[in-house]
Amino acid sequence: METSRPLIKPSEPAFTRRLSQEDLKTDIPPEEFRAVSPGKEVIFASLKKDMFKDFTEGKMSDPDWFLLRIKAEKLSLTTGFNRLISLPSIPVVPFTHQKKAALDALRIMRGRVLLADEVGLGKTIEAGLIMKELLLRGLIKKILILVPASLTTQWKEEMLLHFREEFHIQEEQGDWQEYDRLIASIDTARREEHAEIITKIKYDLLIIDEAHKVKNRSTKAWKLINKITKRYILMLTATPVQNNLEELFNLITLLKPGQLKNLREFRKRFVDVSDKRMPVNPEELKKLIKNVMIRNRRSNVDIYLPPRKAGIYYLRESLPEKKFRLEVTQFIREYYRRKKDTKGVILSLMQLQKALGSSSAAAMDILKNWKEKTDPSQQEYEILSKLSSLGENVGVNRKSRALLEILKRTSDKVIIFTEFLLTQEYLRKLLEESGYKVALFNGQMSIKEKDEELLYFRKDAQVLISTQSGSEGKNLQFCHIMVNYDLPWNPMRLEQRIGRIHRLTQEREVLIFNFSLQDTFEEYILYLLSEKIRMFELVIGELDLILGDFEEDETFEEKLQKIWLSSSSDEDMKKEIERLGDKLLEARQKFQETMETDTNIWALFE
């Protein structure tokens, strides 16, 4: 039997259909259809007519393709969700509780579910599994994932890394209709000009991460999600109840309107009037939410997250290093006062300030570009030249000497994170001259180059120096020691760095070293993170719960930027940092109360 040669197209959305008797004896229209088998996705072209005539003449197909076709036909007959057909086709190996959650979500809840596992148990993997199953069974095509702005890149990379599914991050208004697989900020989506477009589109699957952010039915975000046309919806949150049980009602209403009756009836039957966070009739409520919510706790799943320890190296700069930093800082402040209304100035000044906290090499590179590309006045040119000269006299940075001290104490592999390419190159040269084998990872590398460097790190090199792009999407849990050579002003990026090695598949205690130069702005940031939020004691995922309401108007990074730019003196800056610290402490205490409430509530359902 002669057939057109099958075409491999694994990137296209999958669907299956059964062959009819008509297909076997007549020409098939020139449409293609996909057959899926474990580990392979194949597009079969149209069949020729007179199949039985070819058979009698001994014209036979390739046996491998025939067996693959048989498997595809068997899959096309699968109507229920008795097993996960996606497991052989994805790189990630899900835990038992994640596989069960995906099956229950599809089989019992019909793809409309609140995934409410405790922090750190892998809700993203559960959502990805459900999505992949629906894709392979041909049940979905148009997918929208709404997440906090800080998590868009992480979701894109997780979907590609773990499920081989490519998503686009929304940037333009036209993206909503153009892309079938889209990740977007929920804050952007709720804006009127975007919401008007979104609500006219029919989505097959809608995924909402950090769903507790849409717990209030009076907000634009809740109203938007309620109005979106969607066949399946997955909502992810570790804390479905934060302030009162009505939040649970609001979330479940988005999934399955009427499941908990109306709000008045819900209050009457289930809300304790003396404490609106606690339920009355918990057994009855449990039966109702069991059909729409899955919640796994650490105490009832067979996984282990090793402890982590963090230390801060408080370092004193050399005199040339300190003089360079103080002179550049003064230049930044004076330039800001004179030209703060000029477009792009604030961004450039903040980048210079951050580079100053990384290395003299990174700061000098920015000063050089500024001198060559911004057409400075004669006075500014002279100042920039003077600053560059001071930078050249710094010599070996104090942080780099501390790094060498750490490396001398261990033969284990170490990941060093920095925000700047010039710092990365400076450290590579210093460490190689000191006899260390060094791998690099940064956003300017091709995929092949990145993979080669990671393989080199795994097999031969002791040290990997990575920029921020290396902190997302690649799991490096074969290493258990990391150094934050410089500090991102966005704490979520710092958490993402830590998350590359402190994750469920890590087997050893994780050690985190943070460098802090005394009397610098970076020292103040580290003080806020370590003393007020106590970030390094948290489980991955808890930081976002603390910063959730705290960042409602401005992000943590924007608040820091405002303090730095508006402070007239170091004393003034310290006062503003303390005020910010008090607010962070309140946010931390509120988080602890939420977790206690969460424990008390769900204990009633067990």
10 Å Cβ neighbour count for 425? 18
8 Å CB contact between 526 and 314:
no
Which residue is it, tokens 């990872």? 441
CA separation, residue 197 to residues 227, 235, 478, 577 (Å): 12, 21, 45, 41
Cα 349–chain centre separation: 28
Which of 65 and 508 is assigned the larger pLDDT?
A: 508
Query: What type of residue is 565?
Result: L
Measure the CA–CA gap between 540 and 124, rounded to whole angstroms: 13
CB crowding 370-396: b at 16 or more within 10 Å, else e: bbeeeebeeebeebbeebbebbeebee
Q: For residue 125, which phi and psi values (nearest 5 degrees)?
A: -65, -40
Q: Which residues contact 19 (CB under 8 A, 6 or more apart)?
A: 73
Measure the CA–CA gap between 2 and 572, rounded to whole angstroms: 82
CA separation, residue 203 to residues 13, 81, 225, 335, 603 (Å): 15, 21, 11, 49, 36
List pLDDT tens digits, range 231-251: 999 999 988 887 788 999 999
Measure the CA–CA gap between 103 and 148, rounded to whole angstroms: 27
- Domains, the chain, in order of start with CATH, read 96-300 (3.40.50.10810), 308-313+398-604 (3.40.50.300), 318-393 (no CATH)
Q: 209: which 2 tokens?
A: 């991460």
Measure the CA–CA gap between 3 and 411, rounded to whole angstroms: 59
Helix 421-433 and helix 360-373: axis angle, to 10°? 140
**Dmax over Cα atoms in the chain, in whole Å?**
94
List pLDDT tens digits, range 562-606: 888 888 788 888 999 999 999 888 888 888 877 777 777 776 666
Q: 501: which 2 tokens?
A: 């090695």
Query: For 118-219, where are the alpha helices, taking DSSP H only?
Result: 123-136, 152-163, 175-178, 186-189, 192-198
Which residue is it, tokens 């170490």? 414
For residues 273-291, average pLDDT: 85
Q: What are the residues facing 7 on neighbouring strands? A: 43
Among the listed residues 134, 123, 133, the one whose alpha carbon sits nearest the alpha carbon of residue 295: 123
Query: What type of residue is 166?
Result: E
List pLDDT tens digits, range 410-421: 999 999 999 999
Q: Which residues contact 77 (CB under 8 A, 6 or more apart)?
A: 18
8 Å CB contact between 146 and 206:
yes
Among the listed residues 169, 175, 228, the one whose alpha carbon sits nearest the alpha carbon of residue 202: 228
For residues 446-467, average pLDDT: 90
List pLDDT tens digits, range 373-387: 777 788 888 888 899
8 Å CB contact between 425 and 438:
no
pLDDT band at 299; cut points 50, 70, 90: confident
Which contiguous run of DSSP H or E holds residue 434? Answer: none
For residues 110-124, average pLDDT: 90
For residue 464, the number of C-alpha atoms closer than 13 Å in the C-beta half-sphere is 34
List pLDDT tens digits, range 178-200: 999 999 999 999 999 999 999 99
